[in-house]
């Protein structure tokens, strides 16, 4: 570390060691509960019978006793130390006066008690004690040293006083007391019982025999103890080492000396420097850092602000071990989901982890900004934390032993879970999240104008808590089960697909195709119960985005003034934020991609959609799942591309762009769903064209929106390293130089683009148009020979031909645009004009071909005879081809033009805009994004939390005993009984009739508006009757019953209106009847969800 780095005030942010001490205490306590509870199971005779029912109560009581003993030890420790060490008070007046002066210099509110350990020959001192009774013990060697080296004496005493000032004494000795009591009263007996099980029952010979038979299990138990001891000692030593460095730093600040009293002068050869691996190994067990480290950290305290790999690793292992140990408790269990938000204990552990990691990251970033050093990436720290979590998961043998729940007990215990490689996912996810947290911290620190970083760091830590905690809670509640093969299969069998197949019999191509994509049905189910995952996902992009809404930093911010030794000469070096416009432009392009992806998905879904009238709720579910997947995939591509093109803040920038793209994509999805049926090739659920905003809003608001903007962003985040890695590979492969050369050439060319005259452009467009017509004609020939068959209905042939002709036209027009762009060296207006000309000519060509259908042998599509039919061709053209071309063409052309205009240049980094207009625009966008996301998440929240809460509130108070979850069982049985009385048939009938009616209505509208009474009357009568019948068959649950009645009433009324319309031959009245029925769709969807919830296990 260079000496040029300024000596930053270490109190710029808290050190976070108190949280690490707390984590240690939590670890010891949780292990204590675990070990006592498991030992109680071995208790002899009556005690065993008594304790078998509630072993964890004994565990809690035993732990309380251990804590009580630890408190007594802590309370008596100072007195015992003084008596045992024969320590005497300082009686020398001069010495006492000097000590008083030093205590005043340290700013202590209360004077400690000074004693002397006269027999200790080391020039050292030690501080111990308890709350308000702190004792500083001076060694004889130090007292003897004082006349000759008063500076060294002051250094040592001030170091101890710094421990008091930093409040290390209480927590260090409380932890020490707990550890000692735990070791003597819990660990030791447990070890004895592991070696010699049940000494009250077995003779030594019998015990030996038992041990021979089950020695592997005994070894398993001993290995666990060894892991606990190693973990506690290492964590304790690591925290204490950090405290020593801080005490040194404070002592140096008070005394003004940066050279501590040490065994070897700093300028001499350093014998303490660690060389070999063995010495490094020894060093991690010591409670004091090496003298080299202590001296270096006084000269350059940078490492104190850094994120230490060992600390991260130990934090990870400790947290996982504590989580596993606490899993023995029934209700506060971490390993089972306790309600919608997860177990409270999980969140306590998440708070500790995010506190420790977050503070370390924010400190490192703040120091880097203050000293104008490059900020750490956070990836390294995250990798170590993830590795720690993975190792913790392995050494607690949790998943390994947990797998036994699904299999018979083997003779030898498993040491590894069946699928340990899945832990790499854990490591990668934690690494990326820490990386994200670090980059967000840098964004916010660089834009901080306040006097202190405390406020924004607390906001940052809270956000990290939600983002990490949601994910961590999911992992501990069910994610870890993926490592258990048998469990995975069991869970899959009871997953979403099984439930859906049971509820909605029948299958479809898309449903089958979905299965390999979603091996994680359980994942989906567990996510559906966790709105916090949704909130966490939303914060992943909104939190960094909000940094752009801040006012620009002018001059030296207050927090820098307080922490920097020479603030007046300070200027913020390093990179600024990329411009928001750049990020949003990427987002808009991404939105175009998202809409294209959704359209593509709808085209594909349309190809094999069930016939009109058979589109069940299951089909709707698949539609929504595929749309969600398409959006998330497109956003992942956008984020990977943006992260590859950004030079800094890759994660925040990529996520902000991906979030923006998703917002745009969702708007497009809403529009497509609301106009479902208007563009025949894109039709998936509805068959009638119209503005169906209610069902579209339900889909986007309650399912697609929350999933993409919430949980989907976690998936998008995982894609970002692909972009960064790709860029790295390209750079390493030398491709980047070639790319840069190409870019330079193209930017030179851009200065003098080759403009074509309008005439030439139109000529180019005409050539392209001819190409379009040729492509369409070729497609028609292909359709005639390969695709269309006389067995198909007229409607099916219309849809098929429209889809393929449109695709051919749009591809040809896009190629024309690209060719024109290449010829003019990417002069956008020329390219666009040529593209539009080609498209228009192509459309004219299509119309002519449709009008003359049947005249060209080998290219007949709909007609078989040659005849001039302008009127029906025009109707078909306007109703099918034009909407299709407009939708597809707009999308592709927009993507082409935007891509050509911006060409994914790297962002311009500069300070936040001082212009008020720019700032207002930025803030407006950020605010709008937050509000929209909030509204979308509220839909999901309302659906899950409210429904779950009501279900819990409405369940009967007394439930039959003997079942694991009797109340839910009861409700489920009631619903199943009700369903078997014909309710399911009614529901299915409603869905089927609804879609048939819609399709028929469309058909009749196409055939000139003729209403066939024979088709509609039975349907309308059926609806009226079914509505009446349904009102007498409400489900046995208030919420579902209310929804059921609303739907039944709407259907009955719709049926009556429809009949009236038929009687009066009034198409409008008929449509209104259908509208009344479709108006109940929202309630219908909620009813289905409610019933699914009630009927599920």
Q: Where along the sequence are the contacts to other proteins (CB under 8 A)?
A: 86, 88, 90-92, 95, 116, 118-128, 140-141, 143-148, 156, 159-160, 163, 168-169, 172-173, 176, 240, 243-244, 261-263, 286-288
Tell me if 258 sits within 8 A of 252, measured CB to CB: yes
Closer Cβ to other proteins, 170 or 1021, answer by number: 170
DSSP string of 596-614, one letter each residue: HHHHHHHHHHHHTPPPTT-
CB of 172 vs other proteins, minimal distance in Å: 5
DSSP state of 287: S
DSSP state of 129: E
Least Å from the CB of residue 228 to other proteins: 19
Taking the complex as a whole, the smallest distance from the CB of residue 69 to other proteins amounts, in Å, to: 19
* Separation of alpha carbons 920 and 958, rounded Å: 58
The residue among 247 and 887 lying less far from other proteins, judged by its C-beta, is 247
What is the rounded CA–CA span in Å between residue 488 and residue 1012?
A: 54
Closer residue to other proteins (CB): 135 or 593 = 135
Q: Of 117 and 853, which CB lies nearer to other proteins in the complex structure?
A: 117
- The CB-based long-range contact list for 422-428 (8 Å cut-off, 24+ gap) reads 422/482, 422/483, 423/390, 423/393, 423/394, 423/483, 424/390, 426/386, 426/389, 426/390, 426/393, 426/475, 427/383, 427/386, 427/387, 427/389, 427/390, 428/386, 428/718, 428/721
Query: Toward other proteins, which CB reaches closer, 240 or 983?
Result: 240
Residue placing its CB nearer to other proteins in the complex, 175 or 318: 175
CB of 13 to other proteins, least distance (A): 23
Chain centre to alpha carbon of residue 875: 49
Give the residue carrying structure tokens 């630890």: 70
Task: Identify which of residues 145 and 716 has a Cβ nearer to other proteins in the complex.
Answer: 145
Minimum CB distance to other proteins, residue 128 (Å)? 7
Q: Which residues pair with 248 in a beta bridge?
A: none
**Residue with smaller CB distance to other proteins, 126 or 770:** 126
- Using CA atoms, how far apart are residues 139 and 155, in angstroms rounded to an integer? 14
Shortest Å, Cβ 85 to other proteins: 8
String of DSSP letters for 1014-1027:
HHHHHHHHHHHHHH
Shortest distance (Å) from residue 359 CB to other proteins = 22
Judge contact between 1059 and 1024, C-beta under 8 A.
yes
Is the CB of 260 or the CB of 721 nearer to other proteins?
260
Q: Least distance from C-beta 357 to other proteins, angstroms?
A: 24
Distance between CA 354 and CA 347 in Å, rounded?
10
Nearest approach, Cβ of residue 3 and other proteins (Å)? 24
Least separation in angstroms between CB 119 and other proteins = 5
> Toward other proteins, which CB reaches closer, 60 or 144?
144
Round to whole Å and give the CA distance between 492 and 481: 11
Smallest distance, other proteins to C-beta of residue 240, A: 6
Judged by CB, which is closer to other proteins: 147, or 268?
147
Closer Cβ to other proteins, 152 or 218, answer by number: 152
DSSP 288-335: S--HHHHHHHHH--HHHHSPPHHHHHHHHHHHHHHHHHHTTSSSS-SS
Of residues 297 and 643, the one with the C-beta less far from other proteins? 297
Which residues partner with 114 through β-bridges? 136
Longest dimension (CA), the chain: 124
Nearer to other proteins, 145 or 666 (CB): 145
Please count the other Cβ atoms lying within 10 Å of the Cβ belonging to residue 773: 22
What is the smallest separation between the CB atom of 147 and other proteins, expressed in angstroms?
Answer: 4
Q: How far is the CB of 177 from other proteins (least distance, A)?
A: 11
**Are the beta carbons of 776 and 845 closer than 8 angstroms?**
yes
Question: Least Å distance between CB 353 and other proteins?
Answer: 24
Cβ nearer to other proteins, comparing 42 with 272: 272
Rg value, the chain, Cα: 36
Task: Please report which residue ranges of 979-1035 form alpha helices under DSSP H.
Answer: 984-1006, 1013-1031
Contact 808, 779 (CB under 8 A): yes
Nearest-angstrom CA–CA distance, 270 and 268: 6
Contacts of residue 44, Cβ cutoff 8 Å, sequence gap at least 6 = 198, 200, 201
SS3 137: strand
CA distance 550 to 553: 9
- Number of helices (H) and strands (E) in the chain: give both, helices first: 45, 4
Identify which of residues 152 and 706 has a Cβ nearer to other proteins in the complex: 152
Instruction: Give the DSSP letter of residue 545.
Output: H
CB of 250 to other proteins, least distance (A): 13
Q: Could you tell me which residues come within 8 angstroms of residue 848 by beta carbon, excluding any fewer than 6 positions away?
A: none
Tell me whether residue 288 or residue 581 sits nearer to other proteins (CB atom): 288
The torsion defined by the Cα of 914, 917, 921 and 927, in degrees rounded to 10, comes to: 70
CB of 171 to other proteins, least distance (A): 10
Residues linked to residue 135 through DSSP beta bridges, in sequence order? 113, 128
Task: Count CA atoms closer than 13 A to 518's CA, side-chain side.
Answer: 22
Nearer to other proteins, 274 or 932 (CB): 274
- At residue 464's C-alpha, the angle toward residues 460 and 466, to 5°, is 120
CA distance 510 to 623: 8
In angstroms, what is the minimal distance from the CB of 722 to other proteins?
Answer: 46
Query: Any residues with CB less than 8 A from the CB of 350 and at least 6 apart, and which?
Result: 465, 468, 469, 472, 473
We find the least distance from the C-beta atom of residue 99 to other proteins, in angstroms, to be 12
Label the pairing between strands 125-130 and 133-139: antiparallel
């Amino acid at each position: 570390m260079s000496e040029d780095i300024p000596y930053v005030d270490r109190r710029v942010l808290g050190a976070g060691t108190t949280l690490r001490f707390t984590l240690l205490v939590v670890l010891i306590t949780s292990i204590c509960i675990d070990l006592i509870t498991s030992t109680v199971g071995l208790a002899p005779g009556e005690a065993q019978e008594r304790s078998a029912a509630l072993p964890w109560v004994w565990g809690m009581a035993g732990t309380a006793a251990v804590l009580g003993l630890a408190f007594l030890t802590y309370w008596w420790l100072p007195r015992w130390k003084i008596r045992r060490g024969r320590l005497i008070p300082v009686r020398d007046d001069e010495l006492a006066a000097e000590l008083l002066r030093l205590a005043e210099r340290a700013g202590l509110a209360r004077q400690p008690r000074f004693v002397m350990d006269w027999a200790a020959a080391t020039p050292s001192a030690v501080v111990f004690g308890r709350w308000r009774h702190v004792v500083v013990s001076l060694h004889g060697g130090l007292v003897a040293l004082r006349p000759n080296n008063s500076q060294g004496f002051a250094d040592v005493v001030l170091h101890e006083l710094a421990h008091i000032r930093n409040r290390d004494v209480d927590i260090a000795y409380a932890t020490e007391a707990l550890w000692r009591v735990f070791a003597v009263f819990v660990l030791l007996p447990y070890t004895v019982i592991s070696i010699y099980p049940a000494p009250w029952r077995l003779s030594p010979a019998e015990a030996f025999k038992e041990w021979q038979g089950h020695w592997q299990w005994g070894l398993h138990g001993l290995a666990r103890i060894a892991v606990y001891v190693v973990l506690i000692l290492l964590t304790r030593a690591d925290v204490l080492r950090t405290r020593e460095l801080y005490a040194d730093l404070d002592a140096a600040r008070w005394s003004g000396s940066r050279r501590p009293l040490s065994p070897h002068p700093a300028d001499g050869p350093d014998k303490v420097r660690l060389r070999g691996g063995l010495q490094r190994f020894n060093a991690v067990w010591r409670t004091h850092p090496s003298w080299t480290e202590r001296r270096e950290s006084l000269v350059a305290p940078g490492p104190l602000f850094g994120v230490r790999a060992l600390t991260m690793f130990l934090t990870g292992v400790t947290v996982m071990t504590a989580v596993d140990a606490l899993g023995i408790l029934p209700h506060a269990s971490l390993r089972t989901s306790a309600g919608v938000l997860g177990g409270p204990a999980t969140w306590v552990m998440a708070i500790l982890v995010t506190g420790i990691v977050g503070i370390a990251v924010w400190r490192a970033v703040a120091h880097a900004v203050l000293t104008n050093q490059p900020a750490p990436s956070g990836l390294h720290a995250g990798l170590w934390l993830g590795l720690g979590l993975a190792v913790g998961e392995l050494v607690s043998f949790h998943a390994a032993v947990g797998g036994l729940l699904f299999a018979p007990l083997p003779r030898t215990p498993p040491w590894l879970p069946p699928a340990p490689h899945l832990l790499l996912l854990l490591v990668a996810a934690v690494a990326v999240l820490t990386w994200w947290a670090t980059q967000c911290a840098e964004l916010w620190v660089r834009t901080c104008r306040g006097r202190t970083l405390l406020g924004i760091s607390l906001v940052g830590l809270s956000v990290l808590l939600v983002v990490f905690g949601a994910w961590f809670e999911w992992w501990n509640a069910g994610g870890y089960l993926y490592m258990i093969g048998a469990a995975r299969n069991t869970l899959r069998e009871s997953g979403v697909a099984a439930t859906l197949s049971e509820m909605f019999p029948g299958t479809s191509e898309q449903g089958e195709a979905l299965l390999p994509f979603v091996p994680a049905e359980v994942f989906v189910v567990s996510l559906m119960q966790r709105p916090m995952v949704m909130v966490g996902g939303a914060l992943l992009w909104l939190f960094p985005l909000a940094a752009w809404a801040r006012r620009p930093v002018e001059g030296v911010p207050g927090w820098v003034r307080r922490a920097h030794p020479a603030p007046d000469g300070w200027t913020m070096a390093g990179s600024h934020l990329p411009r928001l416009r750049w990020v949003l432009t990427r987002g808009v392009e991404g939105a175009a991609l998202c809409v294209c992806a959704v359209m593509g998905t709808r085209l594909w879904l349309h190809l094999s959609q069930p016939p009109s009238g058979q589109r069940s709720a299951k089909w709707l579910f698949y539609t929504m799942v595929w749309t969600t997947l398409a959006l998330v995939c497109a956003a992942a591509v956008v984020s990977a591309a943006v992260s590859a093109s950004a030079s800094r803040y890759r994660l925040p920038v990529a996520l902000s762009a991906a979030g923006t793209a998703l917002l745009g994509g969702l708007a497009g999805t809403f529009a497509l769903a609301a106009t479902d049926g208007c563009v025949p090739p894109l039709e998936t659920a509805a068959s009638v064209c119209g503005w169906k905003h209610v069902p579209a809003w339900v889909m986007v608001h309650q399912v697609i929106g929350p999933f993409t903007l919430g949980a989907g962003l976690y998936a998008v985040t995982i894609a970002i390293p692909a972009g960064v890695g790709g860029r790295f590979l390209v750079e390493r492969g030398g491709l980047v130089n070639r790319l840069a050369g190409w870019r330079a050439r193209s930017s030179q060319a851009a200065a003098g683009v080759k403009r074509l005259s309008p005439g030439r452009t139109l000529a180019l467009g005409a050539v392209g148009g001819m190409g379009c017509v040729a492509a369409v004609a070729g497609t028609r020939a292909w359709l005639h020979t390969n695709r269309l068959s006389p067995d198909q209905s007229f409607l099916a042939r219309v849809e098929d031909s429209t889809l393929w002709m449109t695709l051919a036209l749009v591809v040809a027009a896009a190629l024309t645009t690209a060719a024109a762009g290449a010829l003019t060296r990417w002069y956008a207006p020329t390219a666009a004009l040529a593209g539009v000309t080609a498209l228009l000519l192509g459309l004219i060509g299509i119309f002519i071909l449709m009008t003359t259908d049947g005249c060209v042998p080998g290219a007949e599509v709909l007609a078989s005879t040659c005849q001039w039919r302008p009127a029906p061709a025009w109707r078909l053209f306007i109703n099918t081809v034009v909407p299709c071309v407009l939708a597809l063409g707009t999308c592709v052309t927009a993507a082409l033009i935007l891509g050509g205009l911006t060409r994914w240049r790297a962002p311009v980094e500069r300070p936040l805009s001082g212009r008020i207009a720019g700032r207002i625009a930025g803030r407006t966008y950020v605010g709008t994004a937050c509000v929209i996301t909030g509204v979308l998440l509220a839909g999901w929240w309302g659906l899950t939390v409210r429904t779950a809460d009501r279900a819990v509130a409405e369940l009967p108070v007394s439930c039959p005993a003997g079942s694991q979850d009797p109340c839910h069982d009861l409700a489920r049985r009631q619903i199943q009984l009700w369903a078997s009385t014909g309710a399911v048939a009614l529901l299915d009938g409603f869905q089927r009739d609804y879609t048939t009616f819609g399709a028929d209505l469309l058909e009749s509208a196409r055939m000139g508006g003729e209403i066939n009474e024979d088709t509609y009357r039975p349907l309308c009568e059926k609806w009226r009757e079914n509505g009446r019948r349904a009102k007498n068959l409400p489900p046995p649950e208030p919420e579902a019953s209310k929804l059921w009645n609303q739907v039944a009433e709407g259907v009955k009324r719709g049926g009556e209106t429809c009949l009236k319309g038929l009687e009066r031959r009034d198409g409008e009245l008929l449509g209104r009847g259908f509208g009344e029925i479709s108006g109940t769709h929202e309630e219908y969807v909620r009813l289905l969800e409610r019933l699914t919830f009630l009927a599920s296990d």
